Amino acid sequence: MSAVKKVVLAYSGGLDTSVILKWLHDNYQCEVVTFTADIGQGEELEPAREKAKKFGIKEIYIDDLKEEFVRDFVFPMFRANTVYEGEYLLGTSIARPLIAKRLIEIAGETGADAISHGATGKGNDQVRFELGAYALNPDIKIIAPWREWDLLSREKLLAYAEKHGIPIEMKHRQGGSPYSMDANLLHISYEGRHLENPGAEPEEDMWRWTVAPEKAPDAPEYLEVEFARGDICAVNGQALTPAQVLAELNRLGGKHGIGRLDLVENRYVGMKSRGCYETPGGTLMLKAHRAIESITLDREVAHLKDDLMPRYACLIYNGYWWSPERRALQVFIDHTQERVNGWVRLKLYKGSVMVVGRDSAGDSLFDPTIATFEDDAGAYNQADATGFIRLNALRMRIAAKRKGH
């Protein structure tokens, strides 16, 4: 083992990171600082503090990052209408650069020379955490226990915990959740066990945030959101903070069974992985944001954004949030949002969301005098279309004549 004096551990207090905490002491003989991020996962975090204290940890960080998470990571991503592989709203991916950022900050504050995480050697998160860490501190040492130890099964982890007197919750002893789950204010994900068969339908009792669409209210509900520079700032007339916006949209979307996804995705490490996701608030945000852009963005700007979005999505999914290319794209994306202001009305009903109204008092590019099917009083000269069409057809007309000879 390389010499490490102090390490900051991304610590949840669960089985894996509790084992890692002890393993770091045993294998690196180093001081450990624990960091637990509250990004809206909905769990009580004080037990993590108490468990860390029992291990003799002197420096314990439990940080409420919900507002920063939505304001500085979720909202910028949604300004780009970001979707990975046509469906995934990147709920796990977008949380990792924030955690990496805070790990590096705490390392600086405490004089630590290393960080550690509990991501496995098969997944994307190891890449995301470590790319972010190196981008922010190129000299940081990183300890990834899952790539070093031989505790490669839940049974081995439990045996190690029992041998070393690590408290084990009953849910771990009795089998716990049949899924590997990750939650934050944007989404909750499910992987593993039953879902490893891509032909098996998800069990209904798996879902935590959304009701089954067929059990959702029989009456539709209307929702109005207000945008300022591309971000939602009010819901149903009430001004809210970024985290409050997402929490309220999660409540409304979940009530109507909106935001479920069953996906086989391509991981950056090369394998295909099946996961299920609940992103009720994000689903509403994406629908509303595209609607307000439809009347406030220039056509070519909107199309250019759509062209760049898959590249931007891959950068986030693969862990390049802190890269120069993502930062450069963000400057362009944010510039396009300067006049994305106004309101959107959504209709929520049994798993579906429909845009039923949108307007922007000062920034709309929709001109009813030009778009009307009635008499436009000369606002648009329809005769102009003749030359426009003939010029655009010129290359095809020339090609057609060549084929005829």
Q: Which residues pair with 234 in a beta bridge?
A: 226, 239
Tell me: do 377 and 283 sit in the same domain. no
| pLDDT tens figures, 237-288 | 999 999 999 999 999 999 999 999 999 999 999 999 999 999 999 999 999 9
Is there a contact between 139 and 283 (Cβ–Cβ < 8 Å)?
no
| Residue in 12, 93, 96, 360 annotated catalytic | 96
* Strands, E assignment, 165-259: 180-183, 188-191, 221-228, 231-235, 238-239
Residue 308 lies in a domain: no
Q: Whose CA is closest to 114, among 252, 8, 236?
A: 8
Out of 12, 16, 18, 93, the active site residue is 16
Domain CATH for 107 = 3.40.50.620
Catalytic annotation, pick one of 12, 79, 125, 326? 125
Is the domain of 243 the same as that of 96? no
Greater confidence (117 vs 179) lies with 117
Upper half-sphere CA count for residue 2 (Cβ side, 13 Å): 10
CA-based torsion, 308, 314, 317, 318: positive or negative: negative
pLDDT number for residue 254: 98
Please give the helix or strand (H or E) that residue 116 lies within, else none.
strand 114-116
Q: Is 113 annotated as catalytic?
A: no
| Residue 372 token pair | 């009307």
* Full domain range(s) for residue 389: 368-403
pLDDT in tens, 86-106: 999 999 999 999 999 999 999
Q: Is residue 170 part of a domain?
A: yes
Query: Is 180 assigned a catalytic role?
Result: yes
Query: Is 332 a member of any domain?
Result: no
CATH code: domain of residue 247 = 3.90.1260.10
DSSP-based three-state secondary structure for 165: coil
- Please list, in sequence order, all residues whose beta carbon lies within 8 angstroms of the beta carbon of residue 374, skipping any fewer than 6 positions away: none
Indicate the Cα dihedral angle 9, 14, 16, 18, nearest 10°. 60
Q: With a cut of 60, say whether residue 348 has pLDDT above it.
A: yes
Please say which residue of 124, 149, 176 terminates a domain: 176
Domain count, the chain: 3
Catalytic residue among 49, 63, 71, 180: 180
How many other β-carbons are positioned within 10 Å of the β-carbon of residue 210?
Answer: 22
Pairing status of strand 6-10 against strand 31-38: parallel
Q: Which helix (H) or strand (E) holds 269?
A: none
How confident is the model at residue 386, as a pLDDT?
Answer: 96
Higher per-residue confidence, 168 vs 208: 208
